[in-house]
Amino acid sequence: MYHNILTQKDNPDCRQIKKAVKLLRMFMKIDMIYFSKQSDGISNLGIITVIISKSSPHYYDEIYEYCWKIFRYFDEFSFLFYDRFWVKEEIGYGNPYFFLHCNDDTLIYSKPKEKCLFEIGEIDCEDFIKEAKKRFDADTAESNVVGRDLKYHINNGNHLMSAYTIHQQLRYLFISVSWFLTGEYIPSHSIAEQQEHLSGFCKRLGSLFDYEIREEWSVLEQLECARGTVQYNHKIDPLTQESVEFARAKLDLLKTETDKLFNDCIEKTRQIFEGYGNR
């Protein structure tokens, strides 16, 4: 059953949305599909969020492995897959993604007589936002704890430990942003992979280190190598002060963007609550 103006013929995304929905339904058992876009132009891609049926033989995160051809064909969309249990659990943690991207305004397909994903009217706005801030503060605190010795390493000219510390801080911040911008995060220790994961949801952070600019990508590779040296005793060329300073500037930028994006999400979530009469 199709819903929403997004699936009507005069919508510019209509044709591709319907094609994507048709293919997805051929390959898996689905309860609901939502289509949304990030606000404020932080990404040009549409986001298709799929809620997998309880009767699906595949766990939702297994789907990424065998649906990559669909993702490649519809490269104007980013795809995310969840089940009801995950959504319920994440709403309990105050994850704003599902309020912003899985609501009545973004629903484009559901099975006949399928119950709604969650009832906004049954959730207390202030309690939800309190939980969201609690989780966000915990994630950012991880980055701050890891970085407590960064100034010490920099002042002592220890470029290796400076680069490693920055690498770890970047990872925790990427995980934090992924949580509220995509509804989940990937545990990868690679900054390149963390950045790639976000590229379909926030173009600014998806190109924090621009792979098309040789100097920027070289610094990212040095950070990755620093982790390999500290954790696995890999051999690398000596790091430079210039590379550390450049990486630290990127870290400061990510901190600023992370705070701004989270606050924007919270404000939009609050507006949704108010639209439903929740206070």
Burial of 262 (0-12, 13-18, 19+ CB in 10 A): buried
pLDDT, tens digit, 9 for 90 and up, residues 143-157: 999 999 999 999 999
Q: Is the pLDDT of residue 60 over 90?
A: no
Residue in this structure with the two tokens 């002592």, named with its chain if needed: 156
Pairing of strands 30-37, 46-52: antiparallel
CA-to-CA separations, 79 to 73, 173, 202, 243, 245, in angstroms, rounded: 12, 22, 14, 35, 36
Dist. CA 127–CA 137, nearest whole Å? 15
pLDDT band at 7 (very low <50, low <70, confident <90, very high): low
Rounded Cα–Cα distance for residues 211 and 215 (Å)? 9
Burial class (CB in 10 A: 0-12, 13-18, 19+), 264: middle
Specify the amino acid at residue 139. D
Over 60: is that where the pLDDT of 5 sits? no
Over residues 84-103, mean pLDDT: 95
Q: What is the pLDDT of residue 41?
A: 65
User: Phi/psi zone of residue 12: left (φ > 0), alpha (ψ -120 to 50 degrees), beta?
Assistant: alpha
Among the listed residues 211, 197, 207, the one whose alpha carbon sits nearest the alpha carbon of residue 78: 197
Edge-to-edge, what's the strand order for the sheet holding 30-37?
A: 77-83, 46-52, 30-37, 107-110
Of 194, 206, 241, 196, give the one whose Cα is nearest residue 222. 241
Do residues 161 and 155 make contact, with C-beta atoms less than 8 angstroms apart? no
Average pLDDT, the chain: 91
Top pLDDT among 72 and 49 is at 49
Flag the least confident range among 58-72, 127-141, 249-263: 58-72
The one-letter amino acid code at 214 reads R
Output the pLDDT for position 45: 83
Tokens of 133: 């801030």
> pTM for the full model?
0.92
CB 103 within 8 A of CB 73: no
One DSSP character per residue, 20-38 reads HHHHHHHHS-EEEEEEEE-
| Res 277 pLDDT > 70 | no
Residue 38 in this model has a pLDDT that exceeds 90: no
Q: With bands split at pLDDT 50, 70 and 90, how would you rate the model's confidence at 89?
A: very high
Sign of CA dihedral 264, 269, 272, 277: negative
Neighbours of 96 (CB within 10 A): 26
Q: Is the pLDDT of residue 4 over 90?
A: no
